[in-house]
Amino acid sequence: MPTKMLQIPTADGQADAFAAFPDDGERHPGVLMYADGFGIRPVLREMARELADHGYYVLVPNVFYRHGPAPVVELPEHIGEEARTTVMGRLMPLIEAHTIERTLRDADAYLRFLTTQPEAGAGPVAVTGYCIGGLLAVRTAVAHPGQVAAVAAFHAPVGAAGPDSLRRLIAQVHFGHAETDLTPEALAELNQALDAAGVDHTSEIYPDTVHGFTMADTDAFNPAALQLHWDRLLPLLGRTLSNC
């Protein structure tokens, strides 16, 4: 599985990024993958490679590139509860500085770069994200309705995008929530809003999960939930990107 470290030109500099894609000389549908707050690291590279193995060009940008190359803060090999508190203390100022305006400027650059890579198709694309990356994925999809065919977000604060943004989603959508992030009542309210807006979606709480359940290098990891994530994500991409 070929992989590359790349530099994406943006309005504010150069964003380092990781890319994985099939080694067959063909062009493949593009997937923009937003990492969780901990950023690009071995577990994210492995997830990108696994997705690429299904026939996609996967681009994972360092969204905090303004503060340095990934990893922007030092990370332990395993992010346990004690380490998580320390790391998040360092990351929160970066997350808070990543405004909607920055998100949208960067999304323009990421999508432009992705669709001009020699191994990637010209679009449409899918966008997926984890934790804060899921919120970035939703905002990217809303801002690029003609270019983003599918959006998936996992253990993500998607409600922070606001009801107006959710109503403007044109892409097909899957939201996979952690039990600790969303009550059944809040899920019903979210899904009713998506239904009322006519958004083509699935949105569900994954059983026995806490925030961060897809990430194998954290205490939150749930292998069954990670597999369910693939079981939901791959058919979504197959439906929406099959002709790209």
Mean pLDDT of 200-221: 97
Residue 178's pLDDT is 98
pLDDT of 244 strictly over 70: no
Distance CA 243, CA 87 (A): 41
Residue 1's pLDDT is 78
β partners of residue 32: 59, 127
**How far apart, in Å, are the Cα atoms of 19 and each of 31, 50, 57, 81, 157?**
10, 12, 7, 29, 25
pLDDT of 151 strictly over 70: yes
**pLDDT per residue over 158-176, tens digit each?**
999 888 889 899 999 999 9
Mean pLDDT of 89-110: 96
Q: Please, what's the b/e burial string for 93-116 (b: 16 or more CB within 10 A of its CB; e: otherwise)?
A: ebeeebeeebbeebbebbbebbbe
Distance CA 127, CA 125 (A): 7
Distance CA 60, CA 49 (A): 11
What is the domain partition of the chain in residue ranges? 3-241
pLDDT of 243 strictly over 80: no
Residue 202's pLDDT is 97
**pLDDT per residue over 26-51, tens digit each?**
999 999 999 999 999 999 999 999 99
Mean pLDDT of 204-221: 97
Nearest to 41 by CA among 8, 72, 14, 15: 72
Question: What's the topology of domain 3-241?
Answer: Rossmann fold (3.40.50)
pLDDT of 88 strictly over 70: yes
Token code pair at residue 57? 């060009």
Distance CA 198, CA 226 (A): 28
